[in-house]
Homo-oligomer: A and B are copies of this chain.
Amino acid sequence: MIAGGGDYPVQLARILAGRGERPFIAALDGAADPEAFGGDADIRRYRLGQLGSLLDELRQRQIVDIVMLGALPRPSFGALRPEMSTLKYLPHFAKAFQGGDDHLLRGVVSFFEQQGFRVHGPAQIAPELTAPSGPVGRRQPSATQRELLEHGFSLLKALSPFDVGQAAILADHRVVAIEAAEGTDAMIQRVADLVAGGRLKIGKGDGVLVKLPKTGQDLRVDMPAIGPDTLRNIAAAGLAGIGLRAGEVLVGDRAALGRLADQLGLFVEGVA
């Protein structure tokens, strides 16, 4: 596992441990917290510029199957500080850096594939980390809320050919926010600000967040995700719940998320 930041890599390691597997974890410096994986994890830290060393280690261990998971701030090509054994790979990445995040991620996947590795998605290895089909927690959307979720999914589908729109917020039978470059959390905050400023009214039980991958998004390395903070943010914004495409959005520990949803009075629904 090539691990970035956040809780998902740790959760995946825990799930694998439960199956009696002990993955080799390459913790990316500045993103992953090696301590979080516990004392007995088989873990090593790597800077992005130490790609050569990482490949050597993987080959020595005869590792072929890899999964990349966790948040990683977009690195600066200039700040890579590559070690000698990494220099020869730079031309591949120089190209990948000339484009959006999607382009960069595709470049990373194609690199490992060209080097003979198989890149797996976290959902393939641990589907229990993704939204189920049905509720996470006790609450379920009402018929009206379900309609609003469907309207939101249709909207995001219409946006997909434009390579935009992983998430949207709907309330009062209309679309009140659409995510583009700002990210989901900033979009939720915007709606909270509009409500706080009196420019938008959201009735109790009315507002919903919808989230799903864009068509063609590589779910092996770029899966949409929500977590406890997403729930806290939408509760603070006065929304009623979240609709997610089942199996295609990371939710992490379903039981813990369900408990939090119950506490906050929210529904979190996976829609098949």
Find chain B residues with CB under 8 A from A174 CB: 100, 163-164, 181
Copies per assembly: 2
- Of B151, B159, B177, B182, which is within 8 A of A181 by CB? B177
Interfacial chain B residues near A163, Cβ < 8 Å: 174-175
Q: Is the interface of A mostly helix, strand, loop or mixed?
A: mixed
Over the window 179-211 of chain A, the binary record of Cβ atoms lying under 8 Å from chain B Cβ atoms (1 yes, 0 no) is 011100010001100100001100000000000
Interface bin, chain A: 20 to 34
Q: Measured between alpha carbons, how far is A165 from B194 in the docked complex, in Å?
A: 17
Contact indicator B162/A151 (Cβ below 8 Å): yes
Contact indicator A178/B164 (Cβ below 8 Å) = yes
Give chain B residues whose Cβ lies under 8 Å from the Cβ of A155: 159, 162, 164
In the complex, what distance in Å separates the CA atom of A199 from the CA atom of B101?
12
Q: Which residue of B lies closest to A76 (CB)?
A: B198
A100 and B172: CB pair below 8 A?
A: yes
Chain B residues, CB < 8 A from A55: none
Query: In this assembly, does A158 line the interface, its C-beta being within 8 Å of a C-beta of chain B?
Result: yes
* Given A154-B162, A159-B158, A162-B158, A194 contacting B182 (CB threshold 8 A): yes
Are A181 and B194 in contact, with the CB atoms below 8 A? Answer: yes
Q: Which residues of B contact A199 (CB under 8 A)?
A: 181
List the B side residues contacting A38 at CB < 8 Å: none
Question: How far, in whole Å, are A264 and B66 apart by their CA atoms in the complex?
Answer: 51
Compute how far the CA of A219 lies from the CA of B181 in the bound complex, rounded to whole angstroms.
Answer: 30
A176 within 8 A of B: yes
A157: shortest Cβ distance to chain B, in Å? 10
- CB closest chain-B residue, reference A178: B178
Give Cα distance in the complex from A181 to B207, angstroms: 13
Chain A 141-181: CB-based contact to B (< 8 A → 1; otherwise 0):
00000000001001100110111110010001111111011
Known: A162-B151, A162-B155, A190-B190. A200 touches B177 (CB 8 A): no
Q: Which residues of B contact A177 (CB under 8 A)?
A: 180-182
Give A194 to B174 CA distance when docked, in angstroms: 26
Offer 24 A-B interface pairs, CB within 8 angstroms, sorted by A: A100-B172, A100-B173, A155-B159, A155-B164, A158-B158, A158-B159, A158-B161, A159-B178, A162-B175, A163-B174, A163-B175, A164-B175, A164-B178, A165-B178, A168-B180, A174-B181, A176-B180, A176-B181, A177-B181, A178-B178, A181-B191, A181-B194, A181-B200, A186-B190
The 3 tightest CB contacts between A and B, nearest first, are A164-B175, A176-B181, A178-B178
